[in-house]
Amino acid sequence: MKTLACARLLLAHDRTSLLRLLGIVCGVAVGTALFLTLWGFAQGLTTRTERATWPDYATDGTAGMPAGELTGELSSDQIVISGNSAVLYSSLADHFLDKRIGVVSIAATADSTVAVPGAHPLPGPGEYLASPAAAALIAEYPVEALGERYGQPAGILGDEALGSPGSLLILRGMTLEEIREQPDATVVSSLAGKAFSTSTFRIAAIVGSIAILLPVLLLISIITRLGAAQRSETFATLRLIGATPAQIARLAVLETGVTSLVGAVLGAVLAWAASPLFAQIQIDNERFFASDIQPSLPFALGVALLITLATTFVAWVRALRSQNTDLGASRELMEKRPGLWRLVPVLLGMLALVGGGWLSSNPVMNLGVSELLFGALFVAGFAAILIGLVLAGPLLTWWASRFAARFSRGAAGVIAFARIRQHPQATFRAVGGLVVAVFVASFFFAAITIAHVEEEGDGRDSQQGGAESSSDTAGASERSAVGASPDLLHASLSGGYTVADMDAVQEQLKAADGVTGVAPVYYHERPTATEEGSNTEGEASGGAEAGPSEGIAVLRARDAAVLGIPEAEVPDAPWIELPPRYLPSASVPEDADPEASIQAAQFADSSELRPSYLFVGYDGDPLMRERIRTVLLTSSLRLAMVPLTIAEMRDDGATDSFVQEYAYLANLGVLIATAVSGISMAVSTVSSILDRRRTLALMRLAGMPHTTLRRMIAAETLLPLLVVFLLSAGLGFVVAQLLLSGLTAGRRSVIFSLLDPTYFVVLALSLLLATAAILATFPTARRSTALSVTRFE
Amino acid sequence: MNSSAPPSTLPGIPPATSPGATPLITARDLHLAFGLTEALRGVDLTIRSGEILAIMGPSGSGKSTLLHILAGVLVPDRGSVVYNGQRISTMNEAERARLRLAEFGFVFQFGQLLPDLSALDNVSIPLLLGGMSRREALARSEELLGSFGLSSCKDKRPPQLSGGQAQRVALARALVAGPRVLFADEPTGSLDSLSSEQVMEMLAATVRGFGVTLVVVTHDARTAAYADREVIVRDGQIRSGFEL
Ligand SMILES: Nc1ncnc2c1ncn2[C@@H]1O[C@H](COP(=O)(O)OP(=O)(O)OP(=O)(O)O)[C@@H](O)[C@H]1O
Ligand SMILES: [Mg+2]
């Protein structure tokens, strides 16, 4: 009680001290809230992904049986269904206007006990369940535009099947016979999503969370030190008049403990209460279920308590340590010269990464264990380097300041570098967050170059499920479909048709409303190529991958106009060869002539032709396009995928890629870390000015101009920043290199020419933010050293 | 600690002119109030070139306030200060800052040295601010510190200096750029009588040697004894003044 009274008297006696305490409370509250909110989002992304990906993993895992084994000559009563609990399943990405709708088709065997997320009971054949957002979309438009595609509405899909409140998902019931006709139909015995497709992504998520949360913790530590110089003067005076070290430490604990506790609990409650609001924030174009990102109240309070304990403990240690220094009212705490031990964690981290890499290329144990060990070593090494950077920063800054001091000529430089030399930790703390952000950004952008390589290479990511084939197609279409008209739906056919069949379909479709033209495209295999046999699935993909050297795409000359081919270019023949530039999914060789003239097609008999595409032109009205799509989808035609325009395919390719999604999240993370760090920097710079306000004000009084003060602030902040900026960028690349070679047993490395330009934008942005933070402190610096507010004796 | 003799020449300062003849600073009818507190209530004061003027008076009487107005740190509510023909009281802050840097030096009771800088660097700052090269500034500062008997302290930082040493470093810093007027506010206020005598002796000898005008605020009669003239401020007004 006596300590309390004493503390109140000493630490909260006037407006300035009260303001300082209030500042600490608010700062800790904001920091804690930020920490919990970011944590919540990280959790939310994981749980959301886990819930939303159940349709993607049905083909994965041991229970799944590839579609090829179900189709063909087998009839439904011949399908071998393991046990009595199984459903048949297929998943497609449908398009409506500019939206994508996930469509899962399902047929349960009579005695199936497989739990399908969100469906109680399962929709019967011809019925569908829609997610709330999908139901709203269907209700908004005429049935012939959208609703008809899926059958009869039978209710709403439960939230446990959806990633976010805005998810567009349809669960369509079918008979066993119908579902056999679907591409990718599979037998599954359980349906559950995964938060991470591979352990690499799990590592990335852990590492990313550390990288975002660390700057927030730095911010909190900076805030609790607001006005530390002033306080240590008070403590020194107290010692002078006879307070024991224990009494002073108790005072420090009380002050920091109470302010941190109030702030942290406030922040925790704020984060908890505001999460429904934050759930409205869209990440990756989707909102969140509030329950996904809301930290539980006990957890939030637990974090608040931990933060309080940590800050209080640090304050206690500092107060005790400060008692070892010389006594003197005006003598401020001296920082010790940073020791070489500060380099140890970074070196250990590097060692862990190199060791992990060696292990993965020379597996001494069973491969699975090696892989696991590599993951553990990598996470540990990465964390060590991340924290090690923050630890090594003061030492490097100290070295740099000694070096820079030799070349500094002006008063500002002399003052600034002396300050850094005397307070390397304090000056570095200001930029610590940015250093972390730059390190992570460099690491990420370097590591992601591998993905670009794999995407262009074999890049079939088997984890992607139904949407995957379309995204691959779209990747190729960037280059190939340059000649295709935008108002054209490309329906990829799933085989079994003859030329005569297609002619009939063409006539029927032409009569439909809004259709401007219909063109069946066939695949003709060159005699040199081996026949694929009657496997219908093989036929469809064979058609899609028709390269100019193996086979040709062929269509009737009279249909060329549908594709937008000028009449003058069409040779006078019944059948013409279609150059790959008109096809959505052919791979065009680099040396292919984009202007190559169109040739007449050479083949013996039209029975050699296998229908592969149906191109349907429409009048450009989006709603009309949707109606035509509905007609195609509900027709008896067997389609390999949903008919799409070239733009939609490209869109699929752009949004579906895992790499893109992670790049987006990483950018977001770096942005947040950078912003938090910018705030830290401003706070800590201002606080360092306030700590020196008397002396600086006296210098101003003696005639030191504002510009010197400003230059001094800039030098104090920019030197530590630039030194470690380069180091952390470099280390980021090195660590990425170690990761890639470790993951691929040395086969892959960072490719600098593939560095995303966004990286440089991020770098520029963090420098810009740092500059902004410095500029933001100028007015405060000017005000706090103004002659009118300081008394000089 | 030997109280070293004052330097015979101060770098960069022109030789002394005859003291006491021409008025250097003329203050007329100065008024300044901080809220309800009227710190100055009509002060008239003329300071002559080269003299040592002591401003005395009880605590809270307005001595520091007067000093700050004379030096162009504070602006009076009413009245005028003319320095060497320039009207300080109507200059803007930047102009006054330039004037202070070029023409004035300051010594305070304590805490004016930058704690992170060595004594030598502290002394060199005004020269650097004036645009001198680092090397030349350091050479000159070193010379001055030496003449103040502080060579052994030049690499120490202020927290490592004794109170008297710190005040002498502050004095060196105030003088290094060759000011015409030195303003000192209780320069010996935080020192014991021995160090305070050392500092005052050095201060008086130095300013006399180079014809620097010294305005020193003090409540200590022994400090005031070094002055040519003393004025007493009481309740914001000059009550009496007499010449020695
Ligand atoms: N910045 C300020 N704000 C409010 N009041 C002030 C301020 N500066 C001075 N005063 C008041 O003006 C009066 C004169 O103050 P000043 O500092 O000039 O006294 P002083 O003669 O220097 O006293 P001391 O010998 O104790 O240093 C005092 O009553 C003081 O309280
Ligand atoms: Mg005073």
* Sequential DSSP letters for A716-754: HHHHHHHHHHHHHHHHHHHHHHHHHHHHTTTS----GGG
Label residue A242 left, alpha or beta by phi (over 0 means left) and psi (-120 to 50 means alpha): left
CA distance to partner chain B, nearest, from residue A676 (Å): 29
Give A454 Cα–ligand 2 centroid separation in angstroms.
Answer: 76
A406 close to B (CB below 8 A): no
Ligand 1 atom nearest residue B67's Cα = 18
Across the interface, of B126, B133, B157, the residue whose CB is closest to A409 is B133
**Cβ < 6 A, ligand 1 pocket:** A 791, 793; B 34, 37, 39, 57, 59-65, 219
Q: Residue A506's pLDDT is what?
A: 84
**B118 CB-side CA count, 13 A:** 18
Q: Span A443-469, mean pLDDT? A: 54
B111: left (phi over 0), alpha (psi -120 to 50) or beta: left
Can you give the pLDDT at residue A201?
73
Q: Look-up: residue for tokens 């015409």?
A: B180
In whole angstroms, what is the distance from residue A527 CA to residue A541 CA?
A: 18
How far apart are the CA of B158 and the centre of ligand 1, in A? 27
Please report, to the nearest 10 degrees, the dihedral formed by the alpha carbons of residues A639, A640, A644, A649 taken in order: 180
Q: Whose CA is nearest to atom 20 of ligand 1?
A: B60
* Other CB atoms within 10 Å distance of the CB of residue B155: 11
CA-to-CA distance for A706 and A785, rounded, in angstroms?
A: 10
Query: Could you tell which of B38, B63, B218, B219 is best to mutate to test the pocket of ligand 1, judged by most ligand atoms within 8 Å of the CB?
Result: B63
Q: Residue A277 forms beta bridges with which residues?
A: none
If one compares B121 and A588, the residue with the highest pLDDT of the two is: B121
According to the model, what pLDDT value does residue A649 have? Answer: 80
The answer to whether the CB of A644 falls within 8 A of the CB of A470 is yes
Average pLDDT over residues A362-391: 79
- Does A64 score more than 60 pLDDT? no
- Please report where in the chains the tokens 């081919």 appear, as a residue: A565
Q: What percent of chain A clears pLDDT 70, i.e. is strictly above it?
A: 79
Extract the runs of DSSP E, i.e. beta strands, from A238-385: none
Q: Which residue has the higher pLDDT, B16 or B60?
A: B60
Q: Where do the DSSP E strands lie in A506-645?
A: 515-525, 551-556, 575-578, 610-618
Q: Which residues, by Cβ under 5 Å, contact ligand 2, an ion? A: A 793; B 64
Q: Quick one: average pLDDT of A15-40?
A: 88
Domains of chain B are 23-243 (3.40.50.300)
Residue with more model confidence, A575 or B242: A575
Max Cα–Cα distance, chain B, nearest Å: 50
A382-399: buried (b, 16+ CB within 10 Å) or exposed (e) per residue? bbbbbbbbbbbbbbbbbe
Average pLDDT of chain A, as a whole number: 77
List C-alpha distances in Å: A41 to A207, A209, A271, A289, A506. 15, 10, 11, 11, 51
The complex scores an ipTM of 0.80
Residue nearest to ligand 1 atom 7, measured at CA:
B34
pLDDT of residue A788: 58
* Average pLDDT estimate for B128-138: 89
Other Cβ atoms within 10 Å of A593 Cβ, number: 10
Alpha-carbon torsion, ordered A493, A498, A502, A503, to 10 deg:
170
Distance A786 CA to ligand 1 centre (A): 17
Q: State the sign of the Cα–Cα–Cα–Cα dihedral A141, A127, A618, A587.
A: positive
Mean of pLDDT values over B155-167:
87
- Alpha-carbon distance A340 to A347, whole Å? 11
Of all residues in chain B, the percent with pLDDT exceeding 70 is: 89
Q: In angstroms, what CA-CA distances link B205 with A319, B10, B13, B200, B202?
A: 45, 11, 14, 8, 5
Q: Which residues of B touch A330 (CB under 8 A)?
A: 110-111, 159
Higher pLDDT, B9 or A265: A265
DSSP codes, A605-662? -GGG-EEEEEEEEE-S-HHHHHHHHHHHHHSS--BSS--B-HHHHHHHHHHH-HHHHH
Q: How confident is the model at residue A10 (pLDDT cuts 50, 70, 90)?
A: low
Are A704 and B114 inside 8 Å of each other by CB? no
How far apart, in whole angstroms, are the C-alpha atoms of residue A287 and residue B153?
Answer: 66
Question: Which pLDDT score is estimated for A478?
Answer: 45
Query: Where do we find the tokens 């012939």?
Result: A144
* CA atoms A567, A508, A555, A492: torsion sign: positive
Distance CA A433, CA A207 (A): 15
Q: What is the pLDDT of residues A507-551, one digit of tens each?
A: 888 887 788 888 888 888 765 444 444 343 433 344 444 444 467
Question: What are the C-alpha distances in Å from A392 to residues A311, A419, A498?
Answer: 21, 18, 72
Ligand 1 centre and the CA of B102: distance in Å? Answer: 27
- Are A716 and A699 a contacting pair, CB within 8 Å? no
What integer pLDDT is reported at residue A71 of this predicted model?
Answer: 37
Q: Which residues of chain A make contact with B107, given a CB cutoff of 8 A?
A: none
Average pLDDT over residues A639-656: 75
Q: Could you read off the pLDDT of A649-701 as tens digits, one per residue?
A: 877 766 555 666 777 777 788 788 888 888 888 888 888 888 888 788 888 88
pLDDT of residue A460: 35
Q: Are strands A152-156 and A127-130 parallel, antiparallel or unpaired?
A: parallel
Beta bridge partners of B182: B105, B214
Residue nearest to atom 31 of ligand 1 (CA): B60
B219 pLDDT more than 50: yes
Which pair of tokens denotes residue A417? Answer: 């570098």
Average pLDDT along chain B: 85
B-contacting residues of A 306-335, CB under 8 Å?
Answer: 326, 328, 330-332, 334
Q: Helix, strand or coil for residue A392? A: helix
Using the beta-carbon criterion (under 8 Å), do A695 and B117 form an inter-chain contact?
no
Helix H or strand E encompassing A50: helix A15-52
Contacts of B121 in chain A (CB under 8 A): 414, 418
Contact criterion met (CB below 8 Å) for A347 and A354: no
Percentage of chain B with pLDDT > 90?
A: 38
Separation CA A301–CA A306 (nearest Å): 9
pTM, entire model:
0.73
Query: What does the alpha-carbon distance between residue B45 and residue B29 come to, in Å, rounded to a whole number?
Result: 9
C-alpha dihedral over A649, A653, A655, A661, to 10 degrees?
170
What is the spatial distance between Cα A760 and Cα A756, in angstroms, rounded to a whole number? 8
pLDDT value at A72 more than 50: no
CA distance A509 to A517: 8
Residue bearing the bigger pLDDT, A324 or A537? A324
Instruction: Determine the longest span between alpha carbons in chain A, in angstroms.
Output: 110
Tokens representing A24? 């600490």
Q: Is the pLDDT of residue B15 over 60?
A: no
Query: Which residue in B161, B183, B166 sits closest to B174, CA to CA?
Result: B183
Question: How many CB atoms sit inside 10 A of residue A96's CB?
Answer: 22
User: Does the pLDDT of residue A472 top 70, yes or no?
Assistant: no
**HSE-CB for A766 with a 13 A CA cutoff:** 35
Q: What is the pLDDT of residue A792?
A: 53
